[in-house]
C-alpha cells in the first residue's frame, strides 16, 4: 500500500506550514525589533548570497526523491555525495562573500561565519528529498520543531545576548540541525543501505538536469547583490527583506499539493488533481488577500520604520500568488516525466523533456527582470528616486515579467495532465475573497489603532485577522457544496489518522 496520501499530507503540510509562517513572522519580529537596519539588511544579503551555491544541492537531492519512490536504494550514497558537494559549495560561498563584502563594506567576518550554514542546508535538503519520496507528511514534523526552536534560540541569542547577525546564524544552525535529526529518524531505513558508486556516476553524468532548475534562483539572487552594490548600502535591503518575509507566507499554500509530485512518480493516476487544484486556489486566494489587507499593520508590528514598504508587500503578495501556481505546475509536469528511467536517453531527449523546458521559461523570466532592474536602477538613481521607490520598481518588474510565464505553465500543466479545472468554483472563490476581505480592509483602515505597545497592538491585529478568515470560510461554506466537502474531508482525514 502506498505511504503517500495526497489529501492528508496536503492538509497537514499546509496547516503546519501556516503555523511555521506565523512562528517565522514572530522570529522576524524579534529580529526587526532588536537589530539595526544595517544588521537586518546584512541578514537579507546573506540569504541572497547563499542562493549562489545552493544550486549545487539539487545535483543529488533532485534524484533522491525519484529513487526512493521507485524503490532504488541510493540513500547512503546520496548522503555521502551531498557531504562532498557541501564542502565544495562552502569554499565557493567564502570566495563569493569576499567579493560581495568588499563592495558593500559589510564585516567580512560575519559573512565568513555564515558559511557554516551551507553544509547544514545541504544535509537538510537531501534528508528532505528522501522523506518526500518515502513519507512526505513526516517533513511537517521536522518543520514544526524547527520553527518553534527558531523562536526559542532567537530570544536567547538575538534578544537577550544581543549577538546581532551572529546570533541569527547560531539560531539557524541549531534549528536546522534539529530538523535534520528528526527527519533522519524517519528515513533511517533508506539510508542504511550499501554505498554504490554507480549512482554517483549517474548523478554526475546528469548533473546539468537538477542544476538547471536552480539557475533562475541564482540569477534572481543577483538582484539583491545588484541593489546593495548600486545603492552602496544595505538599508534598502532591510525594507525588502521585511516585505519579502511577509509576502512569502503565501507560497506556503503550495503545501496543499506537496504530495502530488511523489504520487505522480508512483502512479499515472491523476483523478485527484481537479479537487487538489481547487483546494490550492481556495487557500491561495485567502492567504494572498490576508497579506494584502494586513500589509501595513504587519509591517508596523515588525517595526514602524518599515511601514513605508507596505506597497512593496502588496505587489510581492500578488507575485507570490502566481509563484505558487508556477511551482505547482512545474512540480506536476516533472512528476509525470519518466525519461530518467531510460538509461540510454540522449541529451537531446532530456532537453525536450518536462525535466528541462519549464525551467527555461523561468530562466528567461529572471534574466529579463534582472536586465530591466540594472537599467532601471541606473536611471532611477540618477533621477534621485528614493529607496522605497526603487523597491516598488523592483517588485513591479518581478511581477510583470512573471505573470505571463505563470499563466502559460499553468495552462501547459492542465493540458498535459488532462485536468479539467472547476473554473466556476475558482471564480466563486475569488468573488468570496473580495466580499470577505474588502470590508476587513476598510475596518482596519478606520478602526485599527497603531499603538507602540505590541502587547496591545498585536491582539487587535489578530482580532481583525480572525474576523477576515471567519467571513471567508463562512461565505465559502454556506454557498458552496465543495467547500463543505473540503471541511468534511479535513475532519475525516484527522479522524482516520488518529485511529
- Specify if 455 maps to a domain: yes
Q: Are residues 77 and 134 in the same domain?
A: yes
**Distance between CA atoms of 461 and 61, rounded to whole angstroms?**
40
Q: Are residues 148 and 88 in the same domain?
A: yes
**Distance between CA atoms of 183 and 107, rounded to whole angstroms?**
35
- Specify if 217 maps to a domain: no
Q: Are residues 255 and 178 in the same domain?
A: no
Query: Dihedral angle at the C-alpha atoms of 43, 45, 48, 49, nearest 10 degrees?
Result: -110
CA angle (241 as vertex; 235, 247 as ends), nearest 5: 145
pLDDT of residue 5: 56
Of 139, 173, 208, which one is at a domain's C-terminal end?
Answer: 208
- Specify if 213 maps to a domain: no
- Specify if 22 maps to a domain: no
pTM for the model stands at 0.79
pLDDT of residue 497: 54
pLDDT tens digit sequence for 104-141: 667 788 889 999 999 999 999 899 888 887 777 788 88
Residues of the chain with pLDDT under 50: 1, 499
Q: Are residues 39 and 88 in the same domain?
A: yes
Q: Are residues 195 and 242 in the same domain?
A: no
Q: What are phi and psi of 345, to 5 degrees?
A: -60, 135
Q: Are residues 201 and 330 in the same domain?
A: no
Residue with cell 502530488: 260
**Distance between CA atoms of 14 and 258, rounded to whole angstroms?**
9
CA distances from 258 to 28, 121, 229 (A): 25, 20, 37
pLDDT of residue 289: 94
pLDDT tens digit sequence for 146-182: 889 999 999 999 989 999 889 999 999 999 999 999 9
CA distances from 162 to 33, 110, 397, 454, 470 (A): 12, 15, 37, 20, 39
Of 192, 208, 224, which one is at a domain's C-terminal end?
Answer: 208
- Specify if 27 maps to a domain: no
CA angle (46 as vertex; 45, 49 as ends), nearest 5: 85
Whether residue 455 contacts residue 308, with contact meaning beta carbons closer than 8 Å, is answered with no
Buried b / exposed e along 194-208 (16+ C-beta atoms within 10 A): eeeeebbebbeebbe
pLDDT of residue 11: 62
- Specify if 442 maps to a domain: yes
**Distance between CA atoms of 348 and 182, rounded to whole angstroms?**
40
Q: Are residues 136 and 258 in the same domain?
A: no
**How many folded domains does the chain comprise?**
2
pLDDT of residue 493: 58
Q: Which three cell numbers stand for residue 189?
A: 531505513
Task: Please return the burial class of 384, using the count of CB atoms within 10 Å of its CB with bins 0-12, 13-18 and 19+.
Answer: exposed
Q: Are residues 195 and 243 in the same domain?
A: no
- Specify if 476 maps to a domain: yes
- Specify if 215 maps to a domain: no
Can you give the residue range of the structural domain that contains 128?
35-208
Whether residue 437 contacts residue 291, with contact meaning beta carbons closer than 8 Å, is answered with no
Q: Are residues 239 and 362 in the same domain?
A: yes
Of 174, 208, 242, which one is at a domain's C-terminal end?
Answer: 208
Q: Are residues 162 and 301 in the same domain?
A: no
Q: Are residues 238 and 204 in the same domain?
A: no
Helices (H), 192-309: 197-205, 208-231, 235-247, 260-266, 273-293, 295-302
Q: Are residues 173 and 241 in the same domain?
A: no
Amino acid at each position: 500500500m502506498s505511504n503517500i496520501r495526497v489529501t492528508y499530507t496536503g492538509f497537514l503540510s499546509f496547516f503546519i506550514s501556516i503555523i511555521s509562517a506565523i512562528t517565522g513572522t514572530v522570529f522576524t519580529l524579534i529580529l526587526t525589533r532588536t537589530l539595526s537596519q544595517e544588521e537586518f539588511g546584512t541578514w537579507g544579503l546573506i540569504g541572497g548570497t547563499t542562493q549562489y551555491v545552493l544550486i549545487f544541492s539539487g545535483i543529488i537531492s533532485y534524484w533522491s526523491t525519484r529513487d526512493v519512490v521507485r524503490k532504488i536504494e541510493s540513500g547512503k550514497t546520496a548522503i555521502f555525495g551531498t557531504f562532498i558537494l557541501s564542502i565544495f559549495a562552502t569554499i565557493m560561498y567564502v570566495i563569493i562573500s569576499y567579493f560581495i563584502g568588499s563592495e558593500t563594506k559589510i564585516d567580512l567576518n560575519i559573512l565568513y561565519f555564515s558559511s557554516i550554514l551551507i553544509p547544514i542546508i545541504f544535509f537538510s535538503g537531501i534528508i528532505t528529498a528522501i522523506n518526500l519520496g518515502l513519507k512526505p507528511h513526516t517533513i511537517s514534523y521536522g518543520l514544526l520543531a524547527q520553527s518553534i526552536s527558531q523562536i526559542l534560540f532567537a530570544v536567547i541569542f538575538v534578544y537577550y545576548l544581543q549577538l546581532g547577525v551572529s546570533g541569527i546564524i547560531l539560531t539557524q544552525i541549531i534549528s536546522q540541525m534539529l530538523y535534520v535529526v528528526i527527519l533522519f529518524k524517519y528515513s533511517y531505513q533508506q539510508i542504511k543501505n550499501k554505498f554504490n558508486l554507480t549512482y554517483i556516476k549517474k548523478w554526475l553524468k546528469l548533473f546539468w538536469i537538477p542544476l538547471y532548475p536552480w539557475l533562475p534562483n541564482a540569477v534572481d539572487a543577483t538582484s539583491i547583490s545588484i541593489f546593495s552594490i548600486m545603492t552602496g548600502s544595505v538599508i534598502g535591503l532591510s525594507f525588502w527583506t521585511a516585505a519579502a518575509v511577509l509576502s512569502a507566507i503565501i507560497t506556503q499554500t503550495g503545501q496543499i499539493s506537496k504530495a502530488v509530485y511523489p504520487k505522480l512518480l508512483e502512479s499515472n493516476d491523476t483523478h485527484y488533481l481537479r479537487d487538489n487544484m481547487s483546494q490550492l486556489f481556495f487557500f491561495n486566494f485567502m492567504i494572498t488577500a490576508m497579506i494584502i489587507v494586513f500589509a501595513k499593520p504587519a509591517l508596523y508590528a515588525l517595526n514602524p520604520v518599515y511601514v513605508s514598504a507596505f506597497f512593496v508587500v502588496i505587489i510581492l503578495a500578488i507575485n507570490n500568488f502566481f509563484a505558487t501556481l508556477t511551482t505547482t505546475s512545474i512540480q506536476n509536469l516533472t512528476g509525470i516525466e519518466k525519461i530518467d528511467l531510460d538509461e540510454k536517453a540522449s541529451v537531446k531527449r532530456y532537453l525536450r523533456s518536462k525535466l528541462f523546458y519549464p525551467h527555461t521559461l523561468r530562466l528567461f523570466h529572471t534574466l529579463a527582470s534582472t536586465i530591466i532592474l540594472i537599467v532601471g536602477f541606473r536611471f532611477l538613481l540618477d533621477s534621485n528616486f528614493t529607496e522605497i521607490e526603487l523597491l516598488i520598481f523592483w517588485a513591479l518588474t518581478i511581477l510583470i515579467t512573471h505573470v505571463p510565464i505563470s499563466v502559460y505553465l499553468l495552462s501547459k500543466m492542465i493540458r498535459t495532465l488532462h485536468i479539467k479545472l472547476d473554473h466556476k468554483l475558482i471564480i466563486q472563490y475569488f468573488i468570496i475573497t473580495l466580499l470577505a476581505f474588502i470590508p476587513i480592509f476598510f475596518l482596519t483602515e478606520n478602526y485599527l489603532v497603531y499603538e507602540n505597545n505590541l502587547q496591545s497592538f498585536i491582539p487587535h491585529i489578530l482580532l481583525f485577522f480572525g474576523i477576515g478568515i471567519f467571513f471567508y470560510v463562512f461565505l465559502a461554506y454556506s454557498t458552496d457544496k465543495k467547500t463543505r466537502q473540503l471541511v468534511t474531508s479535513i475532519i475525516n482525514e484527522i479522524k482516520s489518522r488518529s485511529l
